[in-house]
Amino acid sequence: MQRSYVIKPELGKSYPFVSHGKGIYLYDKEGKRYIDGCSGAVTASIGHAVEEIAEAMYAQARSVSFAYRSHFSSDAVEELGAKLAEWAPGSLNWSFFVGSGSEATETAQKIAIQYWQEKGYATKNRIISRWMSYHGITMGALSMSGHVLRRKRFVPLLADCPTIAPPYPYRRPEGMPLEAYALACANELETAILRVGPEHVAAFIAEPVIGASGGAVVPPDGYFQRIREICDKYQVLFIADEVMTGVGRTGKRFGIDHWGVQPDLMALGKGMSAGYTPMAAAMATDEIIETIARGSGLIMAGHTYSANPQSAAVSLAVLRYVEQHRLVDRAAERGAYLLNRLRELADELPLIGEARGLGMLCGLEFVKDKKTREPFPLAQGVSARIIKRAFEKGLLIYPATGGLEGVAGDAVIIAPPLTITTEEIDELIALLKEAVSSVQQELRQEALLV
């Protein structure tokens, strides 16, 4: 009996014990090798067991691991803050460090509300979000999340966040041109703001590319530009949740950079420390921080481990590694190759409705009927079957079925470390093909696939 928090292993038996990792591979204690085709939870973006990071970790631990943020700053924290300011678009020059993506989005939510309070608009305290979104598991973050499976047990405890539909090009109204669709989806924000009343709306939050609740759904050009216009028109802050898309994952430094839009707040996590330590951040513009500095002078957020030097040193080493090895460009180049290979697979296998993605964040959506795009009933657990089959074959892929029955389909994420080579991508594709083909055959035998 494994006495960790895991109660129901998805594989029908106890989880294997991980032994070690190297590059894109993880090994269990029985010697089986797995391709980390999803960087864990789209996190291990520079691959496993990178020596430079271990060295930075050791050096910082020998000097000081923990100093509380209301007592001290540190070189590691300040250098990391400066590096992120250099990376981030526009005047997103300030970082509030936390320990997880959920804390980052929730801190961004709090900073948005506090900003309006300090400006004298105390009623601007609602956050508008989208269906098919995931912003984290803590109550504030979950309130903003449109991931039905993760939120439905806790609905009575969640704050009321008005929610609009995201662009979902694969399932847009038949024949609708993408440009018109992009504008129609963005204009839903204007309608929502007007319904709630702009005097009550603090911010709008969105993932540049939808991750865990849809499987790398990329918005059409024009969508985020129009969102920015609407936010400006009604004095609503725009929070980009870059927890999954940030730090090179999509082939630009941040997902939102693909559309040249500047957010007011940005949440980072995952790839920011690439799994080497828990580390995340809420980034804010000069305008927001200067307003708070002139007012109360204290951001009302934070956790014990916020801005600890140990995690900052590790994250800084990760960002330097990403720069030195040109991993952002590599994510764009190799990501294009990966998406190409996934599209070939989609052409070949009727079970795959669409292969999509941006950079090294790709997704597959599975459909019952490729022509009509009819999704599977969620109860059939099609993506779970594929993930399980891939695991058995030594390939890790990530679930991305958000549970919007009848609206969104079964999906998975393919997002290997940004360091993956083309040969390794070929190896990944071969295993993926075996896994999907095998489940496809099974579904046919059960007469579940058209």
Residues in the chain: 450
264 is a site residue for ligand PLP (CB under 6 A): no
| Partners of residue 33 on adjacent β-strands | 27
> Nearest distance from residue 269's CB to ligand PLP, in Å?
5
Interacting span for ligand PLP (CB under 6 A) from 27-35, 101-109, 362-370, 389-397:
101-109
Residue 421: what residue type? T
**219 vs 350, which CB is nearer to ligand PLP?**
219
d(CA 431, CA 426): 9
**13 vs 153, which CB is nearer to ligand PLP?**
153
**190 vs 207, which CB is nearer to ligand PLP?**
207
Binding-site residue total for ligand PLP (CB under 6 A)?
16
> What does the per-residue mask of binding to ligand PLP show for 29-48, with x meaning CB under 6 A?
------------x-------
108 is a site residue for ligand PLP (CB under 6 A): no
**163 vs 187, which CB is nearer to ligand PLP?**
163
**Pairing of the two strands 398-399 and 410-414:** antiparallel
> Nearest distance from residue 152's CB to ligand PLP, in Å?
17
**231 vs 243, which CB is nearer to ligand PLP?**
243
**56 vs 415, which CB is nearer to ligand PLP?**
415
> Nearest distance from residue 413's CB to ligand PLP, in Å?
10
d(CA 81, CA 245): 19
Near ligand PLP by CB under 6 A: residue from 81, 101, 275, 417? 101
d(CA 362, CA 263): 23
> What does the per-residue mask of binding to ligand PLP show for 244-263, with x meaning CB under 6 A?
x-------------------
Closest C-alpha to 272, from 303, 232, 307, 318: 318
What does the block give as tokens for 83?
Answer: 């590096």
Dihedral in degrees, nearest 10, Cα atoms 393, 398, 404, 408: -80
Interacting span for ligand PLP (CB under 6 A) from 236-244, 294-302, 403-411, 423-431:
236-244
> Nearest distance from residue 448's CB to ligand PLP, in Å?
29
Near ligand PLP by CB under 6 A: residue from 45, 60, 105, 401? 105
Interacting span for ligand PLP (CB under 6 A) from 2-10, 58-66, 120-128, 135-143:
135-143
Near ligand PLP by CB under 6 A: residue from 102, 277, 285, 401? 102
211 is a site residue for ligand PLP (CB under 6 A): yes
- Cβ neighbours around 235 below 10 Å, total: 15
**365 vs 424, which CB is nearer to ligand PLP?**
365
Interacting span for ligand PLP (CB under 6 A) from 13-21, 240-248, 327-335, 347-355:
240-248
241 is a site residue for ligand PLP (CB under 6 A): yes
**212 vs 247, which CB is nearer to ligand PLP?**
212
106 is a site residue for ligand PLP (CB under 6 A): no
291 is a site residue for ligand PLP (CB under 6 A): no
**Contact set with ligand PLP (CB under 6 A):** 41, 100-102, 105, 134-137, 207, 211-212, 241, 243-244, 269
